Amino acid sequence: MGRNRIIFCYLMVAPAVILVLVITVYPMLESLRMSFLAYDLMRINIDGTPFVGLKNFDTILHDQRFLISLKNTFLFAIIVVSAVIFLGLMMAQLLNMSFRGRGVLRSLILIPWVTPPVVAATIWVWMYQPERSPFNQVLRALGIIQTNIRFLADTTTFLGGISIPMLAVSSVRIWNGLPFVTLMILAGLQSIPVELYEAAEIDGAGALARLRFITLPSLRPVLAILITLLGLGAIGHFEVNYVMTGGGPRDLTSILAVVAYRQAFSFYRFDLASAISTVILVLTSLIATFYIRSRMSET
Amino acid sequence: MTSKTTVNRRHFLRLAAVGAAALGLAACGGAAPTATPAPKAAGPTPTTAPAAKTPVNITMWTMNYGPDTAVWLQMMQDIAKSFKDKSGISVDVQMCSWDVCRPKLLLINQGGEHPDCADMFWLWSNVGLGRGKYGPMPITEYKAELFPDLEQRFAMAGMQDGFYLNEFYGPVYRGDPRTLMYRNDVLQAVGLNKSPSTWDELTEYAKTAQKVDKAGNVTMWGFEFGTDTTKPQQLVTYYWQAGGEFMTKDGKTATIDNDQMRQTLKWMYDMIWTHKVVPPDFMEKGHAAFDLFTGQSLAIAGQSGIGDCNNLDQKFKELDGKWTWDVLATGPKNRVSYYGAGYWGVIRGTKYPYECAKWIAYLSQDENLIRLSQYGGFMSPNKAVMAQPFWNDRPWKKVLPKVMEQIHPSQHPSSAWSAMMVNEPGGVMYDFYYDALVKKVDFDTVIKRTQQRMQTEMDKAAAMEQHNLSMI
């Protein structure tokens, strides 16, 4: 490529790079810097912002609420990622078939995606209100339950070790993110040559075998990027948990971003909030690094 | 192929440098503050009025009241215009919504961006937080000139929030008492025809009014401690009613480790877990007692505010005549009501304290207060306001004078109080009530732990105040 052309390319990407540096990289670095300082906004005029090394990290690692939120964050990520991928795969398979109204269905499934997460969370809070929840009404009408399920407040019922409130907020995240995953997988499915399936059918492969030996391997690059993106999103997720439960009841839905937000904007401890944010940064960096290295090793 | 105008590396670097410089200039130029800048050291004594030759422009922040924020803002700006016509002083009234006013106020106390004057609250805490350098500014020296008839025009019992440590900070223009609210149709249906007047009656009424279906689902809860979504605010009142106080009058010692607190917690605990008349989720985010009340699922709310009454009048006309607002049930010692209030005050760092005080005095004139109060729907300690037909045209409004006889200000003398009342897990008061009433932690354990936490916070606040007062 000629030198002038290279310079021209740099010129063209410069505004975007500057924007990313200013609104993403700079705040990230500033937060990283604050995580090594004492930064209590209520005492800043007395104590200033001295360097304290790893003290903030030590404080949060000894904070029970942080440890609970760390565990919950991983749990939330595992639930959301696995459920969205599984359901997305099923939905995409369905939407890949030919049937009447497929186009309409493909449009309708986008509705959760275009609903802002905060709006979705607010609506679902109402949907999960025990006395008025349509789910409770249907389940009681069907005789499946007798007493109303307290979706966002039940602290005693656990399904497979997962609390009802955690399942409830996860379901909203899954509902909100499913369309995007479905569309991505659908696009991937449509790129798989039909001849492969035909050949497999001729060889006597059943549906499960075709899924296992053709569909999943062919979708591997798509699934890899989706799992990475979903994982990154789940680790740094905030709005659904904060709006629906605030991290309660009894910290059962408390995740890292909620705890960080609370430290910063309720307790004005920007040092601790930055330390927690750094932990989020490290976790998401690990996921991204893992993905990049696996892609590089494949190529 | 090269173009006629070539771009070499040097050109590119020059362009990039120019672009970055332009961005930097734009960033600096765009960050003009909306208020007058704070001086380096704000002295405690305001200056006297300068000669009115140079035009004076002051800014004021107001929160939103009434059904329409835009209408409220316009009303304030209209009053500002008439003030300007009379005094020559321009007032730029800006909106600072309730959603963000608390953190903004706290940042003002730390020396952050501020207007010249503002609609404020929690004076005592904010004075402590501002430590004599930032935040609320006393205007005692203008009181005689600009507020000569304050004591005649206002019920001083409701004016505590405008005074602190013998200094006058501004007139309390709105009060927000919380008192009992119940569904009279629900109570009458079970043979209860008068308001519950004691804690014991509250318990009995709640048990009688509660309805449960065959499967054990509660279809009508008997009681909620309050409709305020700020949970600690709705819970502290019951301790006051048992005769307790959270701290000593000097704001230096926490005082919750006593029989009154144990008695209060026991009663509240029994309402939730023994009599089962209070939803066990009452402290969870998203749990809205007012929604239960309007949704015909709650019989009695132990405390509710004027805002709820306005809401019921405006948006739930189908409930007209079916609900009652009355004085609180009496606790073991008294029936004080939680009383929040707002005042208009001047902020340290302003160049125009006299002009601000003059504007505030104008704003708090009877005719302006009447107009604002009727649109905003808030009561006022101003006697002319409360004498208006507007404040006597509904049964619930007629209760206000009786409620005002026994009020307890929401403020406390330690500047740590507002931080302790944070409505989030991790907040001192939130954790206290959550641990005692939801997690069912042993009372002695939770009381001692909270007393210690309170004392730590209050000691820090006291040290902070002492340190900075010595710096002035």
C-beta atoms of B438 and A125 within 8 A: no
CB atoms within 10 A of CB B400: 20
Q: Write down the pLDDT at residue B109.
A: 86
What's the rounded Cα separation, in Å, for the pair B412 and B125? 7
In one letter, which amino acid is B215? A
Q: Write down the pLDDT at residue B20.
A: 63
Q: Write down the pLDDT at residue B160.
A: 87
CA B169 to chain CA mean position, Å: 16
Q: Mean of the pLDDT values across residues A103-109?
A: 89
Q: Mean of the pLDDT values across residues B138-146?
A: 96
Q: Does A177 touch chain B (CB under 8 A)?
A: no
User: Which residues 6+ apart lie within 8 Å of A222 measured at CB?
Assistant: A184, A185, A187, A188
Q: Does A26 touch chain B (CB under 8 A)?
A: no
Give yes or no: residues B363 and B392 share one domain.
Answer: yes
With a cut of 90, say whether residue B404 has pLDDT above it. no
Domain A35-298 has CATH 1.10.287.130: no
Spatial contact of B172 and B154, defined as CB atoms under 8 Å apart: yes
Q: Write down the pLDDT at residue B180.
A: 96
Q: What is the pLDDT of residues B166-189, one digit of tens each?
A: 899 999 999 999 999 999 999 999
> What are the structural domain ranges in chain A?
35-298
Which residue from B minimizes the CA distance to A1?
B1
Q: Look at residue B387 and tell me if it is in a domain.
A: yes
Phi, psi angle pair for B116, to nearest 5°: -80, -35
CA B461 to chain CA mean position, Å: 20
Which residue from A minimizes the CA distance to B17?
A14
Rg (CA), chain B: 26
What's the rounded Cα separation, in Å, for the pair B227 and B303? 6
Give yes or no: residues B190 and B328 share one domain.
Answer: yes
Domain end (from B339, B357, B390): B339
Give yes or no: residues B285 and B226 share one domain.
Answer: yes
B8 versus B374: the higher-pLDDT residue is: B374
Per the prediction, chain A carries an average pLDDT of: 92
Q: What is the pLDDT of residues A282-293, one digit of tens each?
A: 999 999 998 888
C-beta atoms of B110 and A44 within 8 A: yes
Q: How far apart are the first and last CA of chain A?
A: 24
In a mutational test of the A interface, the residue from B102, B291, B424 whose CB has the highest number of chain A CBs within 10 Å is B424
Q: Write down the pLDDT at residue B24.
A: 57
What's the rounded Cα separation, in Å, for the pair B123 and B62? 16
**Nearest Cα to Cα of residue B21 among B32, B29, B31:** B29
User: Which residues 6+ apart lie within 8 Å of B158 measured at CB?
Assistant: B172, B175, B339, B341, B380, B381, B404, B407
Q: What is the pLDDT of residues A228-278, one digit of tens each?
A: 999 999 999 999 999 999 998 999 999 999 999 999 988 889 999 999 999
Phi, psi angle pair for A220, to nearest 5°: -50, -50
Give yes or no: residues B217 and B327 share one domain.
Answer: yes
C-beta atoms of A266 and B427 within 8 A: yes
Q: Write down the pLDDT at residue A124.
A: 95
Chain B residues within an 8 Å CB radius of A148: 217
Give yes or no: residues B79 and B213 share one domain.
Answer: no
B positions 253-282 inside 8 Å of A (CB): 280-281
CB under 8 A, 24+ apart: contacts of B264-270: B264/B238, B264/B239, B264/B331, B265/B436, B265/B437, B265/B443, B265/B447, B266/B443, B267/B199, B267/B203, B267/B238, B268/B225, B268/B235, B268/B238, B268/B437, B269/B436, B269/B437, B269/B440, B270/B203
C-beta atoms of A267 and B286 within 8 A: no
Q: For residue B173, what is the enclosing H or E element?
A: strand B172-177
Q: Write down the pLDDT at residue A153.
A: 93
Both tokens assigned to A173: 């995240």
Q: How many domains is chain B partitioned into structurally? A: 2
Report pTM.
0.84
Q: Write down the pLDDT at residue B114.
A: 94
Rg (CA), chain A: 23
Give yes or no: residues B235 and B353 share one domain.
Answer: no
Considering chain B, what percentage of its residues have pLDDT values greater than 70? 88
Q: Does B216 touch chain A (CB under 8 A)?
A: yes
Spatial contact of A277 and A39, defined as CB atoms under 8 Å apart: no
DSSP string, B166-198: TEE---EEEEEE-EEEEEHHHHHHTT--S---B
**Nearest Cα to Cα of residue B422 among B227, B150, B218, B232:** B232
Give yes or no: residues B168 and B248 share one domain.
Answer: no
Give yes or no: residues B165 and B201 share one domain.
Answer: no
What's the rounded Cα separation, in Å, for the pair B30 and B35? 14
Domain end (from B316, B339, B362): B339
Q: What is the pLDDT of residues B292-304, one digit of tens each?
A: 999 989 999 999 9
B positions 439-468 inside 8 Å of A (CB): 439, 460, 464, 467-468
Spatial contact of A73 and A256, defined as CB atoms under 8 Å apart: yes
What's the rounded Cα separation, in Å, for the pair A165 and B118? 41
- Of the pLDDT bands very low, low, confident and very high (cuts 50, 70, 90), residue B419 is confident
Per the prediction, chain B carries an average pLDDT of: 88
Strand partners, B62: B95
B33 versus B278: the higher-pLDDT residue is: B278
Cis before A249 (ω within 30): yes
ipTM of the complex: 0.85
What's the rounded Cα separation, in Å, for the pair A245 and A173? 13
**Nearest Cα to Cα of residue B434 among B244, B275, B225:** B225
Phi, psi angle pair for A63, to nearest 5°: -95, 120
In a mutational test of the B interface, the residue from A3, A45, A164 whose CB has the highest number of chain B CBs within 10 Å is A45
Give yes or no: residues B187 and B334 share one domain.
Answer: yes
For residue B153, what are the CA distances in angstroms to B159, B171, B367, B387?
11, 11, 12, 11
C-beta atoms of A266 and B281 within 8 A: no
Give yes or no: residues B256 and B138 share one domain.
Answer: no
Q: Look at residue B137 and tell me if it is in a domain.
A: yes
Domain end (from B409, B443, B466): B409
What's the rounded Cα separation, in Å, for the pair B77 and B94? 9
Give yes or no: residues B295 and B310 share one domain.
Answer: yes
What's the rounded Cα separation, in Å, for the pair B386 and A48? 48
Q: Write down the pLDDT at residue A12.
A: 94
Least confident of A40-49, B9-18, B256-265: B9-18
Spatial contact of B165 and B159, defined as CB atoms under 8 Å apart: no
- Of the pLDDT bands very low, low, confident and very high (cuts 50, 70, 90), residue B44 is very low
In one letter, which amino acid is A265? F
Give yes or no: residues B314 and B332 share one domain.
Answer: yes
Considering chain A, what percentage of its residues have pLDDT values greater than 90? 77
Spatial contact of B218 and B283, defined as CB atoms under 8 Å apart: no
Domain CATH number, residue B276: 3.40.190.10
Q: Does B6 touch chain A (CB under 8 A)?
A: yes
Residue B130, domain extent? 56-177+340-409
